[in-house]
A and B are shown apart, each in its own frame.
Chain A
């Protein structure tokens, strides 16, 4: 749940990047951290293993400017993607306002995407949130691999697998080159802020 401070006029919004292991959640945040450095006052926090896998979460606070006199502070989190870390994934989802589901477009990851999305649904239910109601954007990451000869799934297939019932905004992206990383972020921020406004009115 977003926290609104009426005294200092600050709204804190929590957005979580969710998806299977090695799909590029941390890479998304790293790109945002580099690209929007001027709007970010602090360092990105990463809790990772020696092998550079996310252990608990990455955290990146981000100032979006003002809406109606309120400072909007966006807090970006990632979850650890590895299957065994579901307990920590669940902890990171506490109080979430919006989710970016990062899918891995590589052919061999097809089943993992679907499993991860199903688990997101279950994990949200534990907090009495519904995947059908929470602001959600899906990103089909790694589309650049096509140019390197790696077999990737066509977006139509990914869409059928992951977004046929949800029908949320989705983007092809390449977190490593930055393609559509900002577009994904802008979309989830606007959906989340609109949803918070609706809740308040």
Chain B
């Protein structure tokens, strides 16, 4: 497995998927991180100004904590998380054992619609990422 280094071509493909599936939908910012808190790629709508590095570290910690809690109640995992705020929301979804997709979006997008698109984006990303292991 070649995890740790991803080719430029793979990253570009992933960026295109994120732009087509999520940014076009109106998501403010979408980040793919690994479970160690590294950023694989980040895309935004050009307006949001998030500190994505701190965000990635916190998100990885958050997800790891919830994962540990899942084990305590006898679940293999909680594969998605959703935090709702007044103006903005955050949706976390596992891509595979190593990767996490995080979408930050405002109140104009419905959660259901976002989830549909996240599922589609993840399927496509898995295909691109999986080509690493060939």
Q: Which residues of A contact B (CB under 8 A)?
A: 1-7, 12, 14, 41-43, 45, 47, 56-57, 59, 61, 73, 75, 77, 87-88, 91-92, 94-96, 200
Contact = CB atoms under 8 A, between A and B. Distances in A.
B9 to A, nearest CB: 9
Contacts of B65: 56, 88, 91
Given A3-B38, A5-B39, A91-B65, 9 more contacts: A1-B4, A3-B34, A6-B6, A47-B61, A87-B68, A94-B36, A94-B64, A95-B36, A95-B37
A1 B36 contact: yes
B5 interface: yes
Interface in B41-100: 41, 51, 53-54, 57-58, 60-61, 64-65, 68
Contacts of A91: 61, 64-65, 68
A94 B38 CA distance: 11
Contacts of A2: 4, 38
Interface residues of B, number: 26
B35 interface: yes
Contact of B57 (A75, A96, A200): A75
Nearest to B38: A3
Contacts of B20: none
B110 interface: no
Contacts of A200: 5
Contacts of B61: 47, 56-57, 91-92
B40 interface: yes
28 contacts: A1-B4, A1-B36, A2-B4, A2-B38, A3-B36, A3-B39, A5-B6, A5-B11, A5-B39, A6-B5, A6-B7, A14-B36, A43-B51, A43-B54, A47-B61, A56-B65, A61-B53, A73-B53, A75-B38, A77-B57, A87-B68, A88-B65, A91-B65, A91-B68, A92-B61, A94-B64, A95-B37, A96-B36
Contacts of B54: 42-43, 45, 59, 61
Given A59-B58, A61-B54, A75 B37 contact: yes
Contact of B38 (A14, A45, A59, A87): A14
Contacts of A59: 37, 54, 57-58
A5 B31 CA distance: 14
B37 A7 contact: no
B48 to A, nearest CB: 15
Contacts of B40: 3, 5
Q: Which of A3, A12, A94 is the most central at the interface, judged by chain B CB atoms within 10 Å of its CB?
A: A3
